[in-house]
Structure 1
Amino acid sequence: MSGWTVRGGRLPAQGAVVVTGASSGLGRECALELESRGFQVLAGVRRQEDGEKLLAESLHGRLRHVVVDITDEASVLACAELAEREHGGLRGLVNNAGICVPGPLECLDSDQFRHQLDVNVVGHLGVIRAHLPLLRRARGRIVNVTSGLGKAAVPFLGAYSTAQFAKEALSDALRRELAPQGVPVSIVAPGAILTPIWSKVSEAGERALDGVPAAVAEPYRTAFRAFMEGNAQGAAASRTTPEDFARAVARALTDGRPRTRYWVGADARRMGRLARLLPDTLLDRQFAGITASVRGPAERHPR
């Protein structure tokens, strides 16, 4: 399918790779791992100080950073222009940048919901469009990062799940459109991993409930807080590490025959199996405990 494809084995870890969302967490670990393996890495970060910190952690002199906001077209084009100027072509593009807008869907306004999609879906398509000429030139690969929630939508993470479903569909369509052009597209889907994102998600969740009238928020509050606490505990207890994620991305870039999807973590694999095998009614039962304490206004205020 690609000029890089070989029968079995691994391709050499060489050439240039762009990694978005490399300021912290999974993106940071991915950028450092790819550099350590031999790739030239252009790490997309949101702030100059994030890039300087990442550069200080670089051990091999093959990493540089670029400040990029994937929702800003001019910023994305500047990243692509830098990649072309420095490297000519790209061996890989890792679309890792993303946010999580938590909260019951009733409590999210249109701007919050739209922002979730702009960052996690629309922004990535813009990044892909800008860098595709460089990927074609070097017979490179696209790696899109989703999660287990791209196959099964969880209560209270409806906006995030919507974005992940959309990114899965985007990846499927791109894979089929770009296959004749020799640009493979793979998905890396991690489960819960302890990173700084969890504190941000908890804070955003509280803001979501506080931003709507009490009559709307209160039926959800107890169940939502328990859910967020359970999520944080699950991430803290997870045996899946950022290093596991980074290795999966490296495999997607170097496998002789790249898979369409790489699951990272037992919980992500389980979510994928449940979504594939269970009918909707049974899948609903799997998540029923999350919302068990939610009560409608009429039940809370009987006449």
Structure 2
Amino acid sequence: MGSCAQLLGALKRTLGLGRRQLNVGQRQVVLVTGCDSGLGHSLAVYCYKSLEMTVICCCHNLQSQGARLLQQMSAETETKQQQRLHTWQLDLLHPASIEKVQLQLDELLNNTDYELMALVNNAGVMCFGEFEWQLPSQIEQQINCNLLGTMRLTRQLLPLIRQHCGRIINVTSHCGFQALPALAPYAASKAAIRTWNDALRIEMRQYGVEVVNFVPGSFVLDSNIAARQQQHAQQMLDGFNEEQLAHYGNYFHRFNEYLSILTGFKQPNQLRDDDLLDKFKDALTNKQPHSLYIHETWRYRIYRWLFKITPAPLTDWLTVQFCAMPNYESSKSNSFK
């Protein structure tokens, strides 16, 4: 009978049957990472303003513009006795920082009648550059933050999530399904998160904990995930030997000129994409959420469909067309001027 009930539940999830919304309000707590800018900042503000939840905004730097805006928002509308918007420092590379967040969250939950509704793993770093160009430190930072950092935080908070029957929403990427050139370590980290998410979902469901993979589409131009791209590029160039300088030459320069639009810290944005926010709300509040939510333009959807059905040589060609990045041109005049 237990197996039949589980099978029926799985069919209901797949078909979207019997889907009911959970109640949300100030008693429900959501913790969002990567709130300094971009998607994380926008999701935190949405949960606070539109869903009227209690929100833990985890920022890498409490002096960032995004963190200060969140702190100002809280100061203008709340008192300490009625605070619903909390801005905490979190560095996923340091276990001590993760442990401090866990202790703060434990204290908040113990001293109130709050319920921990969800952990939203959104924080991440990205570095553009062919795999040979990227320094070991750049590769390791992406794996350490995007994959291991997410695992560290989730493992630290799992007892609380389990006790409150909360849920975990892991923000991944289209790169987790189809790796893109110049993003090999980043794609590897997101593909690893995707498969870890799938295993964790099966493990935690028996404890009443839902685990969701949320793919929001590309927000590189709207966030600071690649704000240090030109600094990364200079570090790569400094690490080149004479053979690499002669071989890559002007191609490396053209490549990073193309990416110059990414450099520089942007103001924290508050997304106005209603379709994306509706999908996030369903992932957060539906009693039986889908295991995977994908938000994408028609261009993304068509390419993703083509990637599934085409042989590797054609998939590779489509990937190059999708990225539209500068290509290497073998030439004796390829050296730096």
- Sort the TM-score into its range (normalised by shorter chain): 0.7 to 0.9
1:47 alignment partner in structure 2: 61
Matched residues in 1 for 2:173 and 2:278: separation?
16
Matched residues in 2 for 1:150 and 1:192: separation?
12
Q: Is the 8 A contact 2:39 2:223 kept in 1?
A: no
> 1:256 aligned to 2:287?
yes
Question: More helix per residue: 1 or 2?
Answer: 1
Q: Which moved more, 1:84-93 or 1:70-79?
A: 84-93
2:161 alignment partner in structure 1: 135
Deviation at 1:119, TM superposition (A): 0.4
Q: Is the 8 A contact 2:166 2:210 kept in 1?
A: yes
Q: Deviations over 1:79-99 (max 9, x none)?
A: 111111102452100000101
1:109 alignment partner in structure 2: 135
Q: Deviations over 1:174-193 (max 9, x none)?
A: 11111111111111112223
> 1:72 aligned to 2:94?
yes
Matched residues in 1 for 2:144 and 2:294: separation?
24
1:156 alignment partner in structure 2: 182
Matched residues in 2 for 1:183 and 1:115: separation?
29
Residue 172 of structure 1 aligns to a residue whose secondary structure is: helix
Deviation at 1:103, TM superposition (A): 0.4
Q: Is the 8 A contact 2:128 2:183 kept in 1?
A: yes
Q: Deviations over 1:17-76 (max 9, x none)?
A: 111111111111111111120221111012222434212134574111111101111111
Q: Is the 8 A contact 1:98 1:119 kept in 2?
A: yes
Percentage of pairs with the same residue = 25
Q: Is the 8 A contact 1:210 1:217 kept in 2?
A: no
Structure 1 residues 229 and 203, CA, compared in 2 at 3 Å: closer, same or farther? closer
Q: Is the 8 A contact 1:149 1:271 kept in 2?
A: no
Structure 1 residues 291 and 30, CA, compared in 2 at 3 Å: closer, same or farther? closer
Mapping of 1:151-300 within 5 angstroms? 151-193=177-219, 194-197=221-224, 200=227, 202-204=229-231, 206-213=233-240, 214-215=245-246, 217-218=248-249, 220-221=251-252, 224-225=255-256, 228=259, 241=272, 245-266=276-297, 267-289=299-321, 290=324, 293-295=327-329
One-letter amino acid of the counterpart of residue 210, structure 1 = L
Residue 246 of structure 2 aligns to a residue whose secondary structure is: helix
Matched residues in 2 for 1:111 and 1:149: separation?
21
Q: Which moved more, 1:152-161 or 1:60-69?
A: 60-69
Residue 90 of structure 1 aligns to a residue whose secondary structure is: strand
TM-score of the aligned structures, taking structure 1 as reference length: 0.85
One-letter amino acid of the counterpart of residue 69, structure 2 = K
Matched residues in 2 for 1:241 and 1:149: separation?
23
2:18 alignment partner in structure 1: 7
Q: Is the 8 A contact 1:33 1:247 kept in 2?
A: no
Structure 1 residues 135 and 30, CA, compared in 2 at 3 Å: closer, same or farther? same
Structure 1 residues 18 and 280, CA, compared in 2 at 3 Å: closer, same or farther? same
Please list every run of 5 or more consecutive structure 1 residues that lacks an aligned counterpart in the other structure. Answer: 233-239
Q: Is the 8 A contact 1:43 1:64 kept in 2?
A: yes
Structure 1 residues 12 and 179, CA, compared in 2 at 3 Å: closer, same or farther? same
Deviation at 1:220, TM superposition (A): 3.8
Structure 1 residues 296 and 172, CA, compared in 2 at 3 Å: closer, same or farther? farther
Q: What do you get for the CA RMSD once the two structures are aligned? A: 2.9
> 1:56 aligned to 2:39?
no
Deviation at 1:197, TM superposition (A): 2.1
Q: Is the 8 A contact 1:30 1:243 kept in 2?
A: no
Matched residues in 2 for 1:183 and 1:256: separation?
11
Structure 1 residues 295 and 205, CA, compared in 2 at 3 Å: closer, same or farther? farther
Q: Of 10, 20, 27, which aligns to 2:33?
A: 20
TM-score of the aligned structures, taking structure 2 as reference length: 0.77
Q: Which moved more, 1:118-127 or 1:188-197?
A: 188-197
Question: What is the aligned residue count?
Answer: 292
One-letter amino acid of the counterpart of residue 294, structure 1 = Y
Matched residues in 1 for 2:214 and 2:119: separation?
12
Matched residues in 2 for 1:265 and 1:230: separation?
22
Residue 63 of structure 2 aligns to a residue whose secondary structure is: helix
Higher CA-based Rg: 2
Please list every run of 5 or more consecutive structure 2 residues that lacks an aligned counterpart in the other structure. Answer: 1-5, 264-270
Q: Is the 8 A contact 1:189 1:268 kept in 2?
A: no
2:52 alignment partner in structure 1: 38
Q: Of 100, 109, 126, which aligns to 1:87?
A: 109
